[in-house]
Chain A
């Protein structure tokens, strides 16, 4: 098996292809993560501020999350008017999943911000928007990052499903290996996907430590 991988990677064109697919995989997984986060934070804030919206937003999110990825990928072109091989389909579908996954942690995290902290900030003259950015959002970071970590692993794994509609980063190594009955590309694809997921996870843990310095000191209340 290892010999197979060696001989597969000894070809320069194969190496270039694997690298290109890896790059594509990173873009297809990270872009939806950023878009999803950018959608989920204001949406979660709205649901947190307006109680009557909460059930509707959280309900929609959980129904959206039950839609199978392959099904969503396949119907995306008819909703967006894109071509089937367009990477946009994958990015929009995964961004939808990411925001559906993150809305609840955002609301939960905002709920968990102690009332006296919000009251103190209000008393110091913080307007709601500035208070949100400067006080509530930073306090929500640990819970938020936990959600982003789940979304990141799930996105990285789901991108490869895109290979079935012809665009899926490292997933293309799986379909290639299946069609040519060759294990080497499949194993390379699996290993790189797992490595990518672990690397992203470590990066996110590092970001959390950077963004929540108070947690390092051990003062949480």
Chain B
């Protein structure tokens, strides 16, 4: 019964038009996701690479990232809103706080997994510190780094629905407005759309991860994985 109601909701052309239609909500959702993940990466990637490269402050960094993970996003959102009185700023800041730890952990762990022997060889070949970082450690770190970005994107997509509580758009509107008016089909439609968006984005990023990681690194990761399983 609920199934046919949800189908009817999706079939209703009115839900696909206008400023509160499904395409606009998806666009808003993607907008917040992209902005926050970009800002978070701009902060976390250099920091993680630097700490991994210099091998200093790793314990502090991991501790900081874990502490940030414990912060409840809804609490942070409401707190920032009462502080800044701006839905946009508080949403973006809270989501950036959410997205930084996985990217940071990915970048740092990525550099750490590069075999010390390879870095030593690069040093022996006369590479400078910056050359080693960009030509050896960064390509080697890419699989885990992009894995971190992927998990940040998933978390931000999921949590942007919560941010709708402050009154902004995105697919969370369908969930929260449906909840308020007791419109069950709309809530289920919102849930399906958000889950679908998360799955599509995850698959896209998985594809990009394959394209972006150098073939040599992929091969060595694959052979390491098969060694581990065997």
Which A residues contact B (CB, under 8 angstroms)? Answer: 63, 65-72, 74-75, 78, 84, 111, 153-154, 156-157, 160-161, 163-165, 170-171, 173-175, 177-178, 181-183, 186-187, 189-190, 193-194, 197-198
Known: A171-B75, A186-B75. 10 other contacts (CB 8 A): A66-B195, A68-B198, A70-B158, A71-B194, A74-B188, A75-B191, A161-B74, A174-B75, A178-B82, A183-B83
Q: Closest Cβ of chain A: how far from B16's Cβ, in Å? A: 20
A175 lies within 8 A of B69 (CB): no
Q: Closest Cβ of chain A: how far from B185's Cβ, in Å? A: 10
Q: Give the distance in Å from the alpha carbon of A183 to the alpha carbon of B77 in the complex.
A: 12
What is the size, in residues, of chain B's interface with A at 8 Å between Cβ atoms?
42
Report if A164-B195 is in contact (Cβ < 8 Å); known contacts: A183-B79, A190-B79: no
Q: Closest Cβ of chain B: how far from A52's Cβ, in Å? A: 16
B229 adjacent to chain A (CB < 8 Å) = yes
Q: Which of A70, A75, A183, A189 has a CB less than 8 Å from the CB of B172?
A: A70
Q: Mark B212-230, 1 if CB is under 8 A from A, else 0.
A: 0000000000000000010
Report if A71-B199 is in contact (Cβ < 8 Å); known contacts: A78-B2, A163-B74, A171-B74: no
B198 lies within 8 A of A186 (CB): no
B154 lies within 8 A of A66 (CB): yes
A190 lies within 8 A of B159 (CB): no
Q: Give the distance in Å from the alpha carbon of A189 to the alpha carbon of B79 in the complex.
A: 10
Report if A190-B190 is in contact (Cβ < 8 Å); known contacts: A68-B195, A164-B179, A181-B82: no
Report if A66-B199 is in contact (Cβ < 8 Å); known contacts: A74-B179, A189-B72: yes
A193 lies within 8 A of B72 (CB): yes
Q: Give the distance in Å from the alpha carbon of A75 to the alpha carbon of B229 in the complex.
A: 38
B92 adjacent to chain A (CB < 8 Å) = no
A177 lies within 8 A of B82 (CB): yes
Q: Closest Cβ of chain B: how far from A197's Cβ, in Å? A: 4
Report if A160-B187 is in contact (Cβ < 8 Å); known contacts: A71-B195, A74-B175: no
B79 lies within 8 A of A74 (CB): no
Closest A residue to B195 by beta carbon equals A67
Which one of A78, A163, A183 has the greatest number of beta carbons of chain B within 10 Å?
A: A78
